[in-house]
Amino acid sequence: MTRHLLSIDDLDVTQIEEIFTTAAQMHDVQRREVKKLPALRGRTVINLFFEDSTRTRSSFEIAGKWLSADVINLSAKGSSASKGESLRDTVLTVTAMGIDGLVVRHSASGAAEQISRWIDVPVINAGDGTHEHPTQALLDSYTLTRRLGSLDGKHVVMVGDLTHSRVFRSNVKCLAKLGAQVTVVAPPTLMPAGVSDWSKEAGFATSYDLDRVLPEADAVMMLRVQRERMSGGFFPTAREYTVRYGLTRDRLGLLQPGVPILHPGPMNRGLEISADAADAVDSVVLDQVSAGVAVRMSVLYHLLAGEPALNEGGQA
């Protein structure tokens, strides 16, 4: 297994499948009355969050605790630059406390990768700016796999603010590795720079027309759109965005029956996703949350447990 998980690029298909296999075992543990496994007993994991997050931080915290790790949450809000301390000094200080793994969330793209060059404990990227969020992509694909079986040849449609989305960047890589066909949909102003060359090379399709792609989707993944983007001139009004790119009640009718609807949260109900879609029988939004814990348990286990077998001292 990889030493750090900074990007989906760090994993090959075999490793992704290995993570899923372990995640499925962990998923079963979630349903037990006593959820603790001893796998990371005596290990200390720090969740170092330079950016606010409730769900990702709690998900990593629960995952670590169910593996018996000592999990400490450190919030280091605001850029270290503004506090006068360099990022390197902040990270070296935290690491010097004697830890076994660092889960990092930062508002700056590349922060996790930079950090991994400064310290010698495994670093897990819990979201770096608008770059990647690899555990989110893993849990999304894991959720889809449980729903659809193999993703080979399946058509996944991703819709939303692609420019500012780390979820999109990780997912497009993860889905491609698993053989899925991906179409990303956004207004031209929210397509990343150079996407036409990138998509050609990486093998995904782009579209400005949601209505045209929805009927061919095997799964649809809605991405969060921040209302502040309007002030940046990315689109005129929330109303117009919803009409053109929202998963409205009307658009649900364009989907084939049984097509799962995903959203990484937090949802802007009424903007990119209607209540009808969020609460539809085919919405797997809450499955994603529970899969998140299982996948993060699996990742922590593979990166931090070292040699001892999963079954040591307990059954999984």
- Given candidates 35, 41, 65, 88, which one binds another protein under the rule CB under 8 A? 88
Rounded to an integer, what is the distance from CA 108 to the centroid of its chain?
Answer: 16
165-199 burial, b at 16+ Cβ within 10 Å, e below that, comes to bbbbbbbbbbbbbbebbbbbbbbeebbbeebeeeb
Tokens linked to 145: 């796999």
State yes or no: residue 136 binds another protein (CB under 8 A): no
- Given candidates 79, 207, 226, 290, which one binds another protein under the rule CB under 8 A? 79
Where do the DSSP E strands lie in the chain? 44-49, 70-75, 101-106, 123-128, 155-159, 181-185, 205-207, 219-222, 261-262
Q: In angstroms, rounded to a whole number, what is the distance separating the alpha carbons of residues 57 and 41?
A: 20
Contacts with another protein, 41-70, as mask; x by CB under 8 A: ------------------------------
- Given candidates 1, 24, 119, 195, which one binds another protein under the rule CB under 8 A? 195
State yes or no: residue 87 binds another protein (CB under 8 A): yes
State yes or no: residue 113 binds another protein (CB under 8 A): yes
State yes or no: residue 169 binds another protein (CB under 8 A): yes
Contacts with another protein, 243-282, as mask; x by CB under 8 A: ----------------------------------------
Give residue 161's identity as a one-letter amino acid code: D
DSSP state of 18: H
Among 233, 229, 232, CA closest to 268: 229
State yes or no: residue 166 binds another protein (CB under 8 A): yes
Q: Which residues pair with 123 in a beta bridge?
A: 102
Candidates 153-161, 188-196, 205-213, 256-264 — which segment interacts with another protein by CB under 8 A? Answer: 188-196
- In the block, tokens 């893993």 appear at 138
- Given candidates 110, 187, 270, 314, which one binds another protein under the rule CB under 8 A? 110
State yes or no: residue 108 binds another protein (CB under 8 A): yes
- According to the annotation, is 56 in a ligand binding site? yes
Number of CB atoms found within 10 A of residue 53's CB: 16
The site for another protein (CB under 8 A) is made up of: 79-81, 86-89, 106, 108-111, 113-114, 128-132, 163, 166, 169, 192-195, 197-198, 232
Binding-site residue ranges: 55-56, 83, 105, 133, 136, 166, 224, 265-266
Binding-site residue ranges for L-aspartate: 83, 166, 224
